[in-house]
Amino acid sequence: MLRGKNKPYFTPHTDCGDYIIVVNCEKVRFTGDKWNQKEYLDYSGYPGGQRVTPALTMLNSHPDRIIKRAVKGMLPKTKLGRAMIKKLHIFKGPDHTFQAQKPKTLSL
Distance CA 30, CA 64 (A): 14
What is residue 79's predicted lDDT score, i.e. its pLDDT? 96
Computed over every residue of the chain, the mean pLDDT equals: 95
On whether the CB atoms of residues 2 and 76 are closer than 8 A, the answer is no
Per-residue model confidence as pLDDT tens digits over 28-67:
999 999 999 999 999 999 999 999 999 999 999 999 999 9
On whether the CB atoms of residues 76 and 13 are closer than 8 A, the answer is no
> In Å, what is the CA distance from 28 to each residue of 13, 62, 63, 107?
31, 12, 8, 16
What is residue 56's predicted lDDT score, i.e. its pLDDT? 96
- Other residues' Cβ atoms within 10 Å of the Cβ of residue 26: 14
Q: Is the pLDDT of residue 26 over 80?
A: yes
* pTM for the structure as a whole: 0.89
Q: Is the pLDDT of residue 108 over 90?
A: no
On whether the CB atoms of residues 64 and 25 are closer than 8 A, the answer is yes
What is residue 107's predicted lDDT score, i.e. its pLDDT? 82
